[in-house]
Amino acid sequence: DTEVTQTPKHLVMGMTNKKSLKCEQHMGHRAMYWYKQKAKKPPELMFVYSYEKLSINESVPSRFSPECPNSSLLNLHLHALQPEDSALYLCASSQQHRLLGYTFGSGTRLTVV
Amino acid sequence: GENVEQHPSTLSVQEGDSAVIKCTYSDSASNYFPWYKQELGKRPQLIIDIRSNVGEKKDQRIAVTLNKTAKHFSLHITETQPEDSAVYFCAASINDMRFGAGTRLTVKP
């Protein structure tokens, strides 16, 4: 398995909702990442997990809460989002943090209404 | 932190012509430089990468060159085809991947 799988592919949520994005990989990668991509913009780093521990938080608002239950899974919990949080959320993994070869998932397209 | 600049923002070429996209980076400690292709509505896909100890790498119609002294690297696509049309992102990495702003390449048949 050489893929990063993200679910759901599309999500529409209200500003008072709580939802979660899921990411899974079975390549034995020990680093996993969340990126946010707005239309016509490059992906922006949000969080980095290395060996299931949060390594980097790029000053992301607390309404985004990451979780890494094990080495294969990465979640992003969403609560009280704003319409400007609507974007494509991409998960990626690599063999180790600070090593090359990111593999991206297909992303979750999130719309906040 | 690392800052990556990418030019041009849009590029239109005729099928069969070559396309060149250029990036500069700010942190001389960056040691890995990948290029990603992203088609509309799809994930970024790695097309080629180069490490800091190599000056050039080629894979069929795609090549990347790196000038560490000048802190710039370039993507070269030869014999372009319509299916090369996409947004291309360069990136530089020390600890984490930082992307350039992207180049929208259009290859006209």
Taking phi over 0 as left and psi of -120 to 50 as alpha, with beta for the rest, B31 belongs to alpha
Tokens for A87, please give them: 């974007």
With a cut of 80, say whether residue A98 has pLDDT above it: no
Residue-averaged pLDDT of chain B = 94
**Cβ distance A52 to A29 under 8 Å?**
no
Q: Is residue A41 within 8 angstroms of chain B, CB to CB?
A: yes
Q: Decide if pLDDT at A99 tops 70.
A: no
Find the DSSP H helices in chain A. none
Query: What does the DSSP assignment read for A49-60?
Result: EETTEEEEE-S-
Express each pLDDT in B11-44 by its tens digit.
999 999 999 999 999 999 888 999 999 999 899 9
A49-81: per-residue pLDDT in tens? 999 999 888 889 999 999 999 999 999 999 999
Residue located via tokens 């800052």: B3
The pLDDT of residue B52: 84
Phi-psi label, residue A98: left if phi above 0, alpha if psi -120 to 50, beta otherwise:
left
Q: How confident is the model at residue B99 (pLDDT cuts 50, 70, 90)?
A: very high
What residue in B sits closest to A87 (Cα-Cα)?
B41
The C-alpha atoms of residue A72 and residue A78 are separated, in whole angstroms, by 20
Cβ-defined contact of B96 to A42 (cutoff 8 Å): no
Pairing of strands B4-7, A103-104: unpaired
CB atoms within 10 A of CB A113: 10
Which single residue is written with the structure tokens 């609507």? A86
Quick check: A56 and B96 CB within 8 A?
yes
Tokens representing residue A31 in the block:
């680093």
- Cβ distance B42 to A42 less than 8 Å, yes or no, reads no
pLDDT(B53) > 90: no
pLDDT reported for residue B44: 92
pLDDT band at B105 (very low <50, low <70, confident <90, very high): very high
CA nearest to B72, candidates B101, B30, B13: B30
Distance CA A87, CA A38 (A): 5
Q: Residue B58 corresponds to which tokens in the numbers above?
A: 């080629």
The reply to whether A32 touches chain B by the CB within 8 Å rule is no
Is A105 touching B (CB cutoff 8 A)?
Answer: yes
Given an 8 Å threshold on Cβ–Cβ distance, is A45 in contact with B96?
yes
Give residue B11's pLDDT. Answer: 98
pLDDT given for residue A97 in this prediction: 73
Give the distance from residue A14's alpha carbon to the nearest chain B alpha carbon, in angstroms: 23
Q: What is the pLDDT of residues A11-50, one digit of tens each?
A: 999 999 999 999 999 999 999 999 999 998 999 999 999 9
